[in-house]
Amino acid sequence: MTTAGGDITGGGEPQYAELHAHTNFSFLDGASHPEEMAAQAAELGLAALAVTDHDGVYGAVRLAHAARAHGLKSIVGMEITLAGDRHLTLLARDRTGYASICRLSTEAHRDRLKGEPELSPDTLAAHTTGLVALSGCRQGEIPAAALAGDLDRAVSLATAHAALFEPGCFFLELQNHLQEEDLITGNALLEVAARTGLPVVATNNVHYHLPRRRRLQDVLTCIKHTETLSTAGRKLRPNAEFHLKSAAAMAALFSGLPEALRNTLRIADMCDFDLSCKLEYGLPAATVPDGRTEYAYVEELVWESVRTLYDLVTTEVRERVQRELAYTRQNNLAGYFLTVRDIVQYCHSSDILVNTRGSAPGSILCYALGISMVEPLSAGLLFERFMSSNRVEPPDIDLDIEHQERERVIQYVYQRYGREHAAMVANVISYRGRSAIRDVGKALGLPLAQIERLAKILSWSHGHGIGVELDELDEIPSEIPNRVATDLIALSNEIQNFPRHLGIHSGGMIISSLPLAESVPIEPATMEDRTIVQWDKDDCSYAGLIKIDLLGLGMMTLIHRAFRLIEARHGQRLTLAGFTFDDPAVYDAACEADTLGVFQIESRAQIATLPRTRPRNFYDLVVEIAIIRPGPMSTKMHRRWILRRLGQEPITYLFPSLEPVLKRTLGLPIFQEQCMQMAMAVAGFSAAKADALRQAMSRKRSLQHIQSLRDDLIAGMTANGVPEAVREEIYTQIEGYAGYGFPEAHSCAFALLVYVSVWLKVHYHAEFTCAILNSQPMGFYHAHTLIGDAQRHGVTVHPVDIRHSRYECTIEADGAVRVGYRYVEGLGDAYREVLDREIESGPYSSLEDFCRRTRLPANILETLAVAGAFDGFDRERRDALWRIHAYSPAQFGDELPGLAAALEEDANLRPAGKMVQARMDFASTGHSTTYRGMEFHRPALSAAGVLTADGLKSLAEKVREQKQQSPRQDHPYPTIPTPPPARERVLAPVASDSDNPPARDSIGAPRHRPRDSQTRSQTADALHNALTGDREFTASEPPPADAAIPHSVRARARTGVRVKVAGLVINRQRPSTAAGFTFLTLEDETGLVNIIINPRTFARHKRLILDEPVLMVAGELEDEDGALHVMAHRLSMPGPAHIKAPPSNDWG
Amino acid sequence: MDPKTICVRAPWFRTELEARAHPEWADLPLAVYRPRSRHRELLEVSPSATRAGLTAGMPFKEAQIRCPEAVFVPDDPPKYEQAFLRILDLLDRFSPVVEDAGPGLAFIDATGLEPLYGPDLELCRKVQTTIKEETGHRVHVGLAGSRFAAEIAARTAGTAGVAATLETDATYLAKLPLEMLPLPEKATTQLSLLGVRDLGKFARLPANTVRAKYGEEGRAAQKLAAGRDDRPLKPRSRPLVFEEKVEFEWDEHDLDRITFALQALADRLARRLEIRGLMACRMQAQIIRTDQSRQTFTLDLPEPSTQARTFRDVVRWRLDAAETTAVRPEPGSIEATLESEPGISTIRIEVAELVPFEGKATNLFANRAERIQRANRAISRLRVALGEEVVFRSALHPGERAPERAFARIDAYVPESGKTRRKKSGQGAGEERKKVNVSEIPQGTGKGRRTTKVAEPPLPAERYAAGSGGSLRLFDPPLAATLLSDRTGDRTGDRTGDRTGERIRFDGRHEAIVGRYGPHRLRSGWWETPLIRDYYRVLLAGGDGLLVYHEPPSDRWFVQGVVD
């Protein structure tokens, strides 16, 4: 794309290219998205648009793509900050110039505080190749001298600047925002131009695409300077002239200077670099032995591995390997595979558990190179989802790493490839409802308390506009004037999705063979030893940078810790690859939703679903994970899938050609791949177009992307003779995935972890509990809930005791879990070494011995006393708390042993009662191993007829029996399918005598092959069997179905039984897919109770629901095939809070 | 004889004072807050404010949200201290030992007062009744053996407002909750965990351990809990009174004679101050007419001084101003006093605020100091003569774009010598002058038209020849103007193009325009009062330069200022 060039009036109409524009990626100094800028520039008919965000190219990729879509020429630029907070506008003429911009931006950020980049003159001078420079806004060095009337200095600076750049590449920048200062500056710069012979160019220093965005710009300025609109004063621009202007408008402003506009076109012609094309940045180079090529080495490794992994290399296997190798060779991806393999090998060698997720399990190459644990053929995983010849983007390999060890791996990558070649992907932190309300409210000068009140209202809301929610809830405090409220809502909505600052992506890393800083600027992250590129994952992907995700996963930590504990205690060495996925006990536990703490299927929604879906094989787990996702849930696929699985809805296909695609998921699309396949099957999409659909589903704001493909889909379906009603339904199903669904391969990889975690919980609950306590924070549940769950399963959990505890939780000789010091408030990692070293060196002989050896400060000794850690030395908590000061280092210093005891004075304190002990437990460790919290309310609750969680289950069983015995015609209730025999093991204590390991077979043997006897082929077989049951690949046999139920599921679940329950609120959720329903989970001393609250009840009891840590709920018992809920009618507080309840996990 | 102490606590002292000073607030919740603390916590709340949910210690912002209709008054210690003297004076009647513990709190030694006033409770009631009758303030009175117990008794006196302990302090305090003690929150929390929830239990804990765990502060609190308050009452010191007066034997109207008498008073006052090593920074003058009516006025000195001339002059200026003012005096004012019969019978002058002599004599130093001194005197004279309104400091308003409001008025004028510390009369405690946050200043600069000189931005000489080197005199409010076309006589709009033949009419002037440059666009204040103006520089045929603006919404023109 080139401009007409030359004459600004080309063809009579003036022409203009805007060369100085800030998008909202100037971070709080730009009030329009790059896409809005591009659209408006195209609308105005500008010849080109340059994005010149502050000190980086943060929004350049987006602008380039948006401009391309509008047929507009885009120019990559940057407004760099020089010493003294002076600005200079730089534009890239070509790839070299772009590299210069990236390098300069990198250098400006190097060793600087975040948000305070600055470039030294020497560095600027060293990287000016391929650049066009403009003298900058009024904050530029030359314009500032001109405005100050120091013409000599302005001339000398202009001459010096021009000398830095190639001849003809430096321009004096004129701006006219209808301000007197611009006029003065402009006149002076014209004088400078006359004296130096430098050309002038007009720009508008654009900060928003339309004048009406000026208000938002003012608000952003206030946010940036932590001011309010009333106090910001001259920090705000005086008028709204900083918007994109047409050529005619600019010509009017510079009526006497046609050359200033002509030069914009000249510069636009000089700049010929398009960032919407892929960057050639060089994939990472791998170390290859004996001078072989990377591809040859990969080929050799793969075939060697395939021969080991597969007993028989079938044609299917061979063809798949050949196809993937061909693709690898064609796209030069061998180095990439070797790089990922190198990281995986580092993990293995460093005893760090690693697995892959995402689409990579669909690749046999990944499997053969040891990157993936899932055998793709038997799992029916599509290679095309991972990579295809039609894919525009490179493949994406995500590695799951133990979350507590991830930093080691990241630092390894930095070390291995160098900071010049490796950096993390950024995460653009954008405004959402709460943050928008907070920042806009502050800028409008609202009191903090009011802002917090409004922000809190939004904490449980998602989705639609802020104004709608606030209006609906009538929550705007009456003291806020209407005008301010209107501004607040409008501006908060406008600021939605505006980038605020850069964070770090959860694990994405870019590795390159060429210096990365010449492809994208690198800057230090706030976190120590981390550097990030200036783009998020989507922009990296658009620019063709391959990302490797090194994701920290708490569950990996848990599993690895549990493996170690099991090996240490039982001598059984476990690996992820060694599981056979056929243990009925695992599926029994899943069917009973006994899944607290396990991976993925521990959420409230999963727990409510599992008793109905009753997974019986590995593939059931794969589906179970995938159906409770926003994508399938938004289209109600999960409910229909359950009905079909229960035989309560016939399995049908919307169009015959969909049968092969959807057969294994009972006629319904569950996975992302199926959407691609559906598009190919019914709309005739090519693989490339289907891949575009996949990309649309994977990206942020995917709904808009998918909607952009709607016409093609509908047209394709029409051409294939799909009836109109069916077309719409198919499209709706596909569109539903804009809300995010899993690829099958990803679900498969996760299912593996689900299986392993359930297996650990079923067979080694003590080790599982110990591991999960040591892996916190992770998952949905607080340690208090997890401990309660373990205790209900017969695991003994002991509190902190200085005679036995280590820093981490441990398993004691009798199989009990001992809580570690990590749970003691204020006792951080700093004391870990001394505590572990001292206990290793011998038991403490006395309290004084402990204090003398560890030399913990007085406040921590007091907390330990409160936690009861000294009980073992016959020190009652209050007594210990009273006397412990005598043993603090500050008291006794290095005095002779025995002296401290002499300092003790008896206070004759009354021993702490149970409630005080409970309070002490929660205050000192955040949980209690002895008290659940609700037992103190129980006498009153029992008197009020409030049921426990156990009581509720018993009642539900009775109701079921009654219904079965005398079904009522007016309120039909289905016969519940007979559940498999309850596992006695579940409620029985786990045998834990280390000298006499439990006979595993007798409790449902953990069928885990020892590593020595295990080969990859066995694993593959095992997985194949687990997935298919030696039959056609499908979900397990549906349980026996009753007659079709004509009522809705909700009506079916109603029992008509009124109940009251109460408990600590451990979870609050209000998913956007739930039509305004709110879900609570209460925990009492016997278990968990699920509460459903309809919008009306929520509105009535909102404050209680949002704020109270303990609730009593009166409502109707609902029983959906064994999944129990209480539909709340009335909520109240059961009485004064006896303990400070652990924090709940809300709105997650 | 057992020692006895009475605590007199006026829980609503400040708010009652404010309510009395502002009858219009009578029905409103009222709170006094600490203006300089971080969260501007409430110091005292009226009973109606308490009912509205406000409590002492609550952050100002929270209080505002909880009770938007409440009136919030910043703490003014000198004012309240002064007012509390009245109560202290009353307490003097009961006992020779009275301790002033700050506004609203006093202790008196009640040992041996029983024969004079009857039993303890009776004494408490008498104290309460006396204060109520003489000052109108409601007070709570507690009597106990020590000041801590007495204060607790006063705090827990209940609706009657009086309480006297019938037992020993230790016994009385033993059952009270631990929160009554001045202990850090952390210590209170830990003691609660230990099961120590009342003062009795706390008092019985081993003293050494209490000291070790909670420091000297904890040990001191433990002593209080045990009824052992070793702090003796500190009898209040009588403030130094520097007062002089003259009584005329006739009705005096002549200012010269009054000035002559004033000189004698000022001389005596100056000598007394010098002997004490003190300087006056504020005076109070009182005139008493022959009909015994009194008029009192306070006069700020230009700077702390011991000079009789200064004392004399400020009073004379005030009287002089009253005589020369063109405004007809309000009945009852000083001016009216001077002009009406009966005349003045007595003049009393008193030092209202004192500071220690700083060894500073500005007139010994260089010229600048002298200039400052002169300027200060002139300003002081202006203020005394014409009122507080006429002299003020101004500063560039950070939040204002409109030129006529760009300079904010700072009410408090502080003499340039700057280091003046106003000390509490008789105590010497330092109290810096309030720093005024210009963002809090109300807009506008008062009634009538004023002009303010502001620095002129650099102008391109060839375009704004008339404005070059001059300074802009702003009109506040801007003057309405009409721009007319010379040829047609029509009003001209905000159009661009040829300005030849334009004329401007404003403030009775009617002149031809030879140049109009602009517009310079101002669009500001959209969040409250939008400011929509297009500014122009205008050159008049007579050579004057104007800054005019066009207001598009109303299509009106205004002259913002002239270039002198």
Answer yes or no: do B524 and A450 touch at CB < 8 A. Answer: no
Rounded to whole angstroms, how far apart are CA atoms A441 and A447? 8
B428 pLDDT exceeds 70?
no
| C-beta separation of A818 from A798 below 8 A | yes
A1121 pLDDT exceeds 90?
no
Name the burial class of residue B57, with classes exposed (0-12), middle (13-18) and buried (19+) by CB atoms within 10 angstroms of its CB.
Answer: exposed
CB-based contact, B457 to chain A, within 8 Å: yes
Q: For the residues of A155-220, what is the DSSP string, one character each?
A: HHHHHHHHHHS-TT-EEEEE--SS-HHHHHHHHHHHHHHHHH---EEE---B-BSSGGGHHHHHHH
Residue A290 CB neighbours (<10 A): 6
The predicted model gives B334-347 an average pLDDT of 64
| C-beta separation of A923 from B225 below 8 A | no
The predicted model gives A747-772 an average pLDDT of 94
Number of helical (H) and strand (E) elements in chain B, helices listed first:
15, 23
The predicted model gives A272-288 an average pLDDT of 81
Chain mean pLDDT for chain A: 84
Torsion angles phi and psi, residue A678, rounded to 5: -65, -45
Largest CA distance in chain A: 104
Q: Mind telling me how many Å the CA of A907 is from chain B's nearest CA?
A: 6
pLDDT of residue A332: 82
Q: Which of A233, A450, A882 sits opposite B194 (nearest CB)?
A: A882
pLDDT of residue A10: 46
A1062 pLDDT exceeds 90?
yes
The predicted model gives A461-474 an average pLDDT of 56
Distances (CA, A) of B346 to B265, B288, B319, B493: 12, 5, 14, 67
Q: Please, which residues have CB within 8 angstroms of residue B531's CB and are 6 or more apart in sequence?
A: B401, B402, B522, B523, B524, B525
What residues does B548 pair with on adjacent strands? B536, B559
CB-based contact, A442 to chain B, within 8 Å: no
Q: What is the pLDDT of residues A847-876, one digit of tens each?
A: 888 988 898 998 899 999 999 999 988 888
Pairing of β A1123-1132 and β A1078-1084: unpaired
Interface of B with A in 408-447 (CB under 8 A): 439
Rounded to whole angstroms, how far apart are CA atoms B528 and A483? 9
What residues does B477 pair with on adjacent strands? none
- Pair of tokens at residue B531: 């400011």
The predicted model gives A468-493 an average pLDDT of 72
Interface of A with B in 464-493 (CB under 8 A): 477, 479, 484, 487
Q: Sketch out chain B's domains with CATH numbers.
A: 5-164 (3.40.1170.60), 169-225 (1.10.150.20), 242-360 (3.30.1490.100), 472-563 (no CATH)
Which residue in A237, A254, A249 sits closest to A189, CA to CA? A254
Percent of chain B at pLDDT > 70 equals: 76
The predicted model gives B420-429 an average pLDDT of 38
pLDDT of residue A123: 94
CB-based contact, A1099 to chain B, within 8 Å: no
Answer yes or no: do B522 and A239 touch at CB < 8 A. Answer: yes
Answer yes or no: do A180 and B457 touch at CB < 8 A. Answer: yes
Mutation target for B interface from A180, A222, A892: give the one with most B CBs within 10 A.
A180
The predicted model gives A317-345 an average pLDDT of 89
Torsion angles phi and psi, residue A931, rounded to 5: -120, 145
Strand locations in B256-387 (E): 278-289, 294-305, 344-356
- Pair of tokens at residue B326: 């063109």
Pairing of β A1145-1146 and β A397-402: unpaired
Rounded to whole angstroms, how far apart are CA atoms B77 and B102? 9
pLDDT of residue A1036: 54
Q: For the residues of A28-57, what is the DSSP string, one character each?
A: SS--S-HHHHHHHHHHHT-SEEEE--BTS-
| C-beta separation of A224 from A29 below 8 A | yes
Q: What is the pLDDT of residues B264-315, one digit of tens each?
A: 999 999 988 888 778 888 888 888 888 888 888 888 887 788 888 888 888 8
- Pair of tokens at residue B257: 């004679």
Mutation target for A interface from B38, B39, B196, B209: give the one with most A CBs within 10 A.
B209
The predicted model gives B12-36 an average pLDDT of 90
pLDDT of residue A1002: 33
pLDDT of residue B304: 81
Q: Which residue has the tokens 């476990």?
A: A574
The predicted model gives B364-371 an average pLDDT of 55
pLDDT of residue B292: 80
The predicted model gives B159-175 an average pLDDT of 90
Rounded to whole angstroms, how far apart are CA atoms A721 and A735? 20
pLDDT of residue A962: 82
pLDDT of residue B396: 65
pLDDT of residue B42: 93
Strand locations in B223-291 (E): 243-252, 278-289
Mutation target for A interface from B520, B538, B547: give the one with most A CBs within 10 A.
B520
The predicted model gives A39-44 an average pLDDT of 96
Distances (CA, A) of A403 to A353, A426, A554, A778, B439: 10, 19, 5, 9, 50
CB-based contact, A400 to chain B, within 8 Å: no
b/e string for A619-658 if b means 16 or more Cβ within 10 A? bbbbbbbbbbbbbbbbbebbbbbbbbbbbbbeeeebbebb
The larger pLDDT score, comparing residue B64 to residue B9, is at B9
| C-beta separation of A904 from A883 below 8 A | yes
Chain B residue numbers touching A907 (CB-CB < 8 A): 194, 205-206, 209
Q: Which residue has the tokens 């010497």?
A: B428
Q: What is the pLDDT of residues A559-578, one digit of tens each?
A: 999 999 999 999 999 988 78
A1148 pLDDT exceeds 70?
no
The larger pLDDT score, comparing residue A1136 to residue A553, is at A553
pLDDT of residue A382: 67
B3 pLDDT exceeds 80?
yes
A4-13, A516-525, B111-120: the lowest-pLDDT one = A4-13
> A1023 pLDDT band (50/70/90 cuts)?
very low
B65 pLDDT exceeds 80?
no
| C-beta separation of A787 from A797 below 8 A | yes
Answer yes or no: do A905 and B208 touch at CB < 8 A. Answer: yes
> B334 pLDDT band (50/70/90 cuts)?
low
B92 pLDDT exceeds 70?
yes
A755 pLDDT exceeds 60?
yes
pLDDT of residue B106: 96
pLDDT of residue A484: 82
Interface of B with A in 139-168 (CB under 8 A): none
pLDDT of residue B37: 79
Rounded to whole angstroms, how far apart are CA atoms A633 and A131? 51
Q: Is A827 left (phi over 0), alpha (psi -120 to 50) or beta?
A: beta
The larger pLDDT score, comparing residue A676 to residue A158, is at A158
> A45 pLDDT band (50/70/90 cuts)?
very high
The larger pLDDT score, comparing residue B442 to residue B188, is at B188
pLDDT of residue A475: 62
Q: Please, which residues have CB within 8 angstroms of residue A775's CB and are 6 or more apart in sequence?
A: A403, A404, A554, A555, A557, A558, A561
What residues does B484 pair with on adjacent strands? B491, B503
Torsion angles phi and psi, residue A1027, rounded to 5: -75, -35
Q: Which of B194, B401, B522 sits opposite A909 (nearest CB)?
A: B194
B454 pLDDT exceeds 70?
no
The predicted model gives A990-1011 an average pLDDT of 37
Distances (CA, A) of A179 to A18, A182, A200, B470, B520: 19, 5, 19, 20, 5
Can you tell me the ipTM of this complex? Answer: 0.71
CB-based contact, B36 to chain A, within 8 Å: no
Helix axes A914-925, A858-866, angle to 10 degrees: 140
Pairing of β B509-524 and β B502-506: antiparallel
- Pair of tokens at residue A329: 């060779």
What residues does A579 pair with on adjacent strands? A1008
| For residue A477, cis peptide bond before it (omega within 30 degrees of 0) | no
Which pTM was predicted? 0.73
B165 pLDDT exceeds 50?
yes
pLDDT of residue B409: 62
A590-604, A623-637, A1005-1019: the lowest-pLDDT one = A1005-1019
pLDDT of residue A128: 94
pLDDT of residue B496: 46
A590-599, A1047-1056, B117-126, B357-366: the lowest-pLDDT one = B357-366
Q: Please, which residues have CB within 8 angstroms of residue A927's CB and are 6 or more apart in sequence?
A: A782, A783, A784, A787, A823, A921, A1142
- Pair of tokens at residue B343: 């005349």
Rounded to whole angstroms, how far apart are CA atoms A773 and A779? 11
Q: What is the pLDDT of residues B489-528, one digit of tens each?
A: 555 555 544 456 788 998 888 888 888 888 899 998 898 8
The 3-state secondary structure of A224-256, one letter per residue: HHCCCHHHHHHHCCCCCCCECCCHHHHHHHCCC
A143-152, A640-649, A1030-1039, B96-105: the lowest-pLDDT one = A1030-1039
Rounded to whole angstroms, how far apart are CA atoms B386 and A958? 93
pLDDT of residue A905: 76
The predicted model gives A93-110 an average pLDDT of 95
pLDDT of residue A972: 37
| C-beta separation of A410 from A424 below 8 A | yes
| C-beta separation of A70 from A37 below 8 A | no
- Long-range pairs, A515-518, Cβ under 8 A, ≥24: A515/A420, A515/A421, A516/A281, A516/A420, A516/A421, A516/A422, A516/A423, A517/A102, A517/A103, A517/A106, A517/A420, A518/A99, A518/A102, A518/A103, A518/A281
Answer yes or no: do A230 and B399 touch at CB < 8 A. Answer: yes
b/e string for B253-291 if b means 16 or more Cβ within 10 A? beeeebbebbbebbebbbebbeeeebbbbbbbbebbbee
| C-beta separation of B535 from B527 below 8 A | no
